[in-house]
Structure 1
Amino acid sequence: MIVSGNPGFSEELAVPRAIAAILNRKWLILACVAAGLAAATVGYLDQTPRYVSEAVLALDVRKFQALPTESVISPLPQESPALRTEIDIMTSRSMGEKVLVQLRKAGVDVARGLGLAGEAGAGAKSTAHPVIDDRVLLEQLLSGVRVNNDGRSYTIYISFTGINPDFVAVVANAYAEAYIDYQVDVQTTATRHVSDWLGTRLVSLRSELERSEHAATAFREKSGIVKSDGTTLLSQQIGGLNTELAKLRAQVAGATARLETALDVSEGESSLALSEVLNSAAIQQLRTEEARLKRALATISESGAVKNPQIPELTSQLETIQAQISMEVSQIVESLRNEIEVSKRQQAGLEASLRQMQKEMSAANGAIVQADQLDREASANRAIYESYLARYKQTIEQDGIAMAEARIISRAMPSSSRTSPDGPAWLLGGGLFGLAAGLFVTVLLELRSLFLRRSHPDEGAAGVPIIGRIPELSQHQRSGIAKLICQGHAPVAHAVADLQGRLRLSARTGGVLTLSVTSAGPREGKTFIAACLARSLAATGLRTVLLEANLSAPAVAREFSIQPARTVVDLVAGRDGTSLDDVVRCDVSGVDLVCAGVAEGPVEHVLGHEAFARLLATLKRNYDAVVVDCVAVSSGSGALLVSALVGTTVFVIPAGGEPLQTTAALRKLAAAGVAVDGIVVNEAARSTLNRRASTTADLYAANESRKRSDASVDMPSIAGL
């Protein structure tokens, strides 16, 4: 691929280029694949057969409840983090130690099962075989066990890998049983530890409870605070006095109201309506007598005997009776006054007693508060002691009924078929590895030839940019270069197309592209580059002619596999009336060829001849693109003469060439006023190009020698051009 400035791949051509690179190096890739398969086969045969057995556990979602009490350890949470923790416990070193102890108790030869000992086991005392360290056995057990969960259930899969199928099954089952024993042991140990701690704690709590109760009782006895039904006697007395005082106050109020009523109605007869009056027996007798007298007077008055002598007597008796009733009412009113006075005196006495007891209550409040505090402390100690005592009895009842929260639902069985090494997997892996290695090497080689080449040192020294880079070609690509340039997707086709596109864009000679291809010395691939450029230009539809001006070692005829009858030398010398049509040959790629022969004298006599200049001018008129395969700069000034007649000069340097020779050639062109438009780095195999150049040179040398033996003529001017 050509690298110029900051080159890049076209996205549309990336896939065809990759396919072309793979096809070009298919034998390398196939060799890598074969090597990978061979290595996989050797590795497969060298591996020790291994077997896998798997035991399956299921965590119980439902927990067995033997007693209606809370267990010491809470049930295992049915969550992913908890399940992950249990899996980590199964693969821990402590669990491995338990399994190792369990296997030894069962009489299993762990060392022999792991393939670490021959005849003697881990616990054998034979002197022929050393005892295997427990750390080594433990590491082997941990490396072989695998515990996993599918994430959708509470099922745990325990698998073990080893070289002995029977031993593998035993270890897998041992891990499952060790985990169940671990769960039971955790519950039993926790229950017993809690029971021991509660028993020790109960002793101290009992002592504390006895101390607090004794302190509360002693303080009450000392303070004289006696309680009855939860209250002190003093409080009960104060409550009774308050009740009596309330009743007495109500009685005084009632008597006062009756007295006031009696005083209000004492003026009239309505006083007889008082309850005290109505309930008095004397007043009732007097009122009966009064009523009899009034009836007698009414009878006499109705009879009309107004002069009846009984009227004054009856009237006198009636007045006496009424006076006695009034006296009785006055006595009743006075008794009410006395009753009120007595009640008030009783009330005053009760209030005095209540005030005295309240003073005593105030003095006893401090002692009561302290006594209540001591009672509360004793009650709290009693509650704590009773709760600890109940929990202690529960833990004692739970001891011995610990049950695991998992069960084995499928025990591991010895495997009848080995799981590793897997032959198809090894072959597939080897093939994929070989393929990857082949592709990797192909990419490295392509990058080396296409991208990773640094700019030639002459670019910076001479100030000439590198406008193209022709990648390295295989022998098959060299033989079909014409087809690759016109139809293929190989990197060389894109490199040449990119180069000719750049040259067309930078052409300085109007619409006709005229360019010369030269190099510092012979056999550096300039003829190959010129031929590739001509084919690529013709593929774009331009009328293209390749003019060979390399008279020292012509190679165009060899490059295109033709045998020209006439050459540029014949045309310039005018031998036998040679015309332009006689020397132009048409190639199948669409390129017209004007081949050259080996010059008899200095090449400058031909290239500097006026006829050669007219030939070049004629080609410019008849073609859209003229490519001149020029002589090397080191061969004389022929390259300078040709470059002065064309618009674009391309300088070819071989990859890994001599920098000093290239720099000298570029300086020589610059000193002659020839502007080199760019450098093309030729990374193609130089050996084939050299063979082509030498063979072509020998061919034309023999042809020219034959012609010189026929006649020797001078070089006249070509008037017919």
Structure 2
Amino acid sequence: MAEPAAPSLSLSAAARRLWRGSGFIVLGGLFMVATTVAILGMLTPSYVSSIQILIDPSDLRSVDNDVTVRSPQSDAGVSLAESQTKVIQSDSVLRRVVTKLGLDHDDEFMKPDSTNPVVEFLKNALGMMPPPASRDPVNMALDTLRQNVLVRRPERTFVIDVQAKSKDPQKAATIANAIGEAYFAEEANARTEAAKRVSDSLTSRLTTLREALEEAEGKVATYRATNKLATSTGRPFSDQQLGDLNQQLVTASIRTAEARSRLDQAKKMTSSDAGTALPEMLQSLEMQALRQQYATLSRNTAELATRLGSRHPAMTEMEAQQRDLQRLIQVEKTRIIESTRKDYDRAAASEAAIHKNIDQVKTDLSKTDRASVGLRELERAADSRRSVYEAFLKRSREAGEQERLNNTNVRIISTATPARIRAWPPSPRIALPIALMIGLMLGAAIALMLGADSDRKRARKARRPTQDARSLRAVDA
């Protein structure tokens, strides 16, 4: 007859089994606690120190330049921060730390190879033994340091956490701070190198541009000299000369008109009486003296005629003196009129000469205008080359100054200090309760398994007498 299935486990049965196996539960908990204490005592503690670096996507605007300026788009800041995390973990940065702190001579970072022949044989057989070329102390320390450094960026921030792990808390803090300094030094060096490359490239290009500019300016100068297109203060001589001649023509015309007016007036006064008022142009020192003498003589003659009468012999002498003064005055008038005529002739000749020069300059100017077409084309070519050369020269000087200027907006917002609590192994306040819970759970599992086995044996023993009695009744029948 088939054996009946075991009844399902009830809460009361489970509680009974746990109670019967409480010793196993207690022993399991104590065993796990003791094992954890032993393991914690055997493990070498390690400490973690960290720094925080803020990566601002926008650089400091100390100067305006396009050499290494970094003004990312709205969605590029996160990519920039992620890129900087890779820079911090790069060999260039970590190698600076190894060299500065001498980690290639530190036993913690220079793990010696095993001298056990069996271990060496197994490593050689499995291909785990590094070749001699890769066993450089700096590279080995660099590999160990990379394993003991964690760089991460919390989500939605531009802050980078750099954690360094070591057996010595002071050493962990020193390494973390050294990584920050090495990162800044590497960034500054990268900026300087970038600016230097740009400066060198621009400088080499400037030589070619300067030669092209000198060639273009030489063509302009040669064309000017060939076509007599000399300039003064930026204007061609012909234009400037025409303007000067026009001004001179106006002045000469005015002077000629004035001389003509004086000559006409002088001619009208030629036959006038000696005592008639004369215009200013006919007034001279000699004329004034003669007219003064004539006026005095006329007054004396009139007085003498009143006393002596007009038939007196003295009146004849006085009248002879008056006629002589009139002749002298007329001679002086003639001289002044002749001088005025000469002034007019000179003014008219000067005006005519200026007219002639203007006509000549106009003829030359028409030739100059035709020649200026080619000159302007050469000047445009020279101006375009000059603008390019000046732009390259400005950028070259900016790049040269940028080599000594670092405008990266990156700073450490939290420096590393020696850790007070070890990072590994976990603290006993955390490890022991967990070990106790695991031990109790293992003891409970053992108690349940042993209790289930005991219940099955007890059930078989209880079913065996019933089966024997049924067998006897079957035999009797």
Instruction: Give the TM-score, by structure 2 length.
Output: 0.56
Residues 108-147 of structure 1 mapped to structure 2, 5 A cutoff: 126=120, 128-129=122-123, 130=128, 141=147, 144-147=150-153
The answer to whether structure 1 residue 298 and structure 2 residue 287 are counterparts is no
Is the counterpart of residue 180 in structure 1 residue 175 in structure 2?
no
Report Cα offsets for 1:524-556 as digits up to 9, x if no partner: xxxxxxxxxxxxxxxxxxxxxxxxxxxxxxxxx
Q: Percent identity?
A: 22
- Is the CA contact (8 Å cut-off) linking 1:90 and 1:175 kept in structure 2? no
2:333 paired with 1:329? yes
Rate the CA distance shift 1:164–1:258 in 2: closer, same or farther, 3 A.
same
The change in CA–CA distance for 1:242 and 1:396 in structure 2 (over 3 A counts) is same
TM-score (norm 1): 0.40
Instruction: Please say if residues 220 and 378 of structure 2, whose CA atoms lie closer than 8 Å, have aligned partners that are also in contact.
Output: yes
**Residue correspondences, number:** 372
User: Could you say what secondary structure the match of 2:89 adopts?
Assistant: helix
Structure 1 gaps of 5+ residues are 1-26, 28-37, 62-67, 431-721
Following superposition of structure 1 onto structure 2, how do residues 352-391 of structure 1 map, counting pairs within 5 Å? Answer: 352-368=356-372, 370-371=374-375, 374-375=378-379, 377-378=381-382, 381=385, 385=389, 388=392
Distance across 1 between alignment mates of 2:304 and 2:407: 119
Query: What is the aligned partner in structure 2 of residue 521 from structure 1?
Result: none
Give matches, 1:452-471, under 5 Å.
Answer: none
SS at match of 1:273: coil
Q: Pairwise mapping of residues 48-447 of structure 1 onto structure 2 (< 5 A)?
A: 53-56=48-51, 87-92=81-86, 95-98=89-92, 126=120, 128-129=122-123, 130=128, 141=147, 144-147=150-153, 157-160=161-164, 172-173=176-177, 175-227=179-231, 231-235=235-239, 237-262=241-266, 272-279=277-284, 281=286, 283-284=287-288, 286-303=290-307, 305=309, 307-311=311-315, 314-315=318-319, 318=322, 321-322=325-326, 325-326=329-330, 328-329=332-333, 332-333=336-337, 336-337=340-341, 339-368=343-372, 370-371=374-375, 374-375=378-379, 377-378=381-382, 381=385, 385=389, 388=392, 392=396, 406=411, 410-411=415-416, 413=418, 416-418=421-423, 421=426
CA distance, structure 2, for counterparts of residue 91 and residue 52 of structure 1: 22
What's the CA shift for 1:176? 2.4
d(CA) in 2 for partners of 1:81, 1:294: 115
Question: Post-superposition shift, 1:183?
Answer: 1.0
Matches of 1:417 and 1:231 in 2, distance apart?
Answer: 85
Structure 2 vs 1, CA of residues 103 and 159 (structure 1 numbering), >3 Å: closer, same or farther? same
For the 8 Å contact 2:87–2:93, the answer to whether it is kept is no
Preserved CA contact (<8 Å) 1:49 1:418: no
> What residue identity is the alignment partner of 2:86?
S
Tell me which structure has the larger Cα radius of gyration: 1
Q: State the alpha-carbon separation in 2 of the partners of residues 408 and 231 from structure 1.
A: 63
- Deviation of residue 360 (structure 1)? 0.8
Cα pair distance change 1:403/1:354, threshold 3 Å: closer
Contact 2:150 2:162 in 1 (8 A): no
When residues 299 and 367 of structure 1 are mapped into structure 2, their CA distance, relative to the original with a 3 A threshold, is: same
Task: Tell me which amino acid in the other structure corresponds to 1:417.
Answer: R
Rounded to whole Å, the distance in 2 between the matches of 1:234 and 1:165 is 88
- Structure 1 residues 158, 262: closer, same or farther in 2, change over 3 A? same
Contact 2:238/2:361, CA 8 A, preserved across alignment: yes
2-structure distance, mates of 1:166, 1:324:
127
Structure 1 residues 370 and 54: CA distance shift in structure 2, 3 A: farther
Instruction: Quote the RMSD (CA, aligned, Å).
Output: 5.7
User: Residues 193-221 of structure 1: CA distance to partner in whole angstroms, max 9, x if unpaired?
Assistant: 12221222122112212211221122123
In structure 1, the partner of 2:9 is none
CA distance in structure 1 between the aligned counterparts of 2:419 and 2:121, rounded to whole angstroms: 32
**Structure with the largest fraction of helix:** 2
CA distance 1:107–1:427, change in 2 (3 Å): closer
Instruction: Assess if the C-alpha contact under 8 Å between 2:48 and 2:164 holds in 1.
Output: yes
Q: Distance in 2 between matches of 1:309 and 1:93?
A: 136
Q: Whole-Å Cα distance in 1 between the matches of residues 231 and 121 of structure 2?
A: 88
Q: What is the CA-CA distance between 1:57 and the residue it aligns to?
A: 5.8
Report the alpha carbon displacement of residue 252 of structure 1 after superposing the two structures with TM. 0.9
Q: Which amino acid aligns with 1:145?
A: V
Q: Aligned equivalents of 2:104 and 2:173: distance in 1?
A: 12
Show CA shifts across 1:32-82 (max 9, x none).
xxxxxx9xx99x979999855224367799xxxxxx9989866889xx999
Distance 1:161 1:148 in 2: 19
- Structure 2 CA distance, aligned partners of 1:221 and 1:88? 64
C-alpha deviation, 1:103, in angstroms: 7.2
> 1:147, 1:211 → 2: CA distance?
57
**What CA distance in whole angstroms lies between the structure 2 residues aligned with 1:90 and 1:285?**
107
SS in 2 for 1:225: coil
Relative contact order (C-alpha < 8 Å, sep 6+): which is higher? 2
Please give the per-residue CA displacement for 1:132-175, whole angstroms capped at 9, x wherever unaligned. 999xx89x859943456998xx9865224689978865763564
**Does the CA-based 8 Å contact 1:52-1:162 persist in structure 2?**
yes
Residues 169 and 419, structure 2, Cα contact 8 Å, conserved in 1: yes
Taking a change above 3 Å as real, the CA distance of residues 171 and 311 of structure 1, as seen in their structure-2 partners, is: closer
1:278 is displaced (CA, Å) by 1.9
Separation of aligned partners in 1, 2:67 and 2:242: 56
Amino acid at match of 1:251: R
The structural deviation recorded for 1:187 is 1.9
How far does the alpha carbon of each residue in 1:558-591 deviate from its partner, in whole angstroms, 9 at most, with x for none?
xxxxxxxxxxxxxxxxxxxxxxxxxxxxxxxxxx
Alpha-carbon offset, residue 362 of structure 1:
2.0
User: Compared with structure 1, are the counterparts of its residues 51 and 300 closer, same or farther at alpha carbon in structure 2 (3 Å cutoff)?
Assistant: same
Distance 1:285 1:412, change over 3 A: closer
Following the alignment from structure 1 to structure 2, what is the Cα–Cα distance between the partners of residues 103 and 338?
102
Does the 8 Å CA contact 1:209/1:378 hold for their aligned counterparts? yes
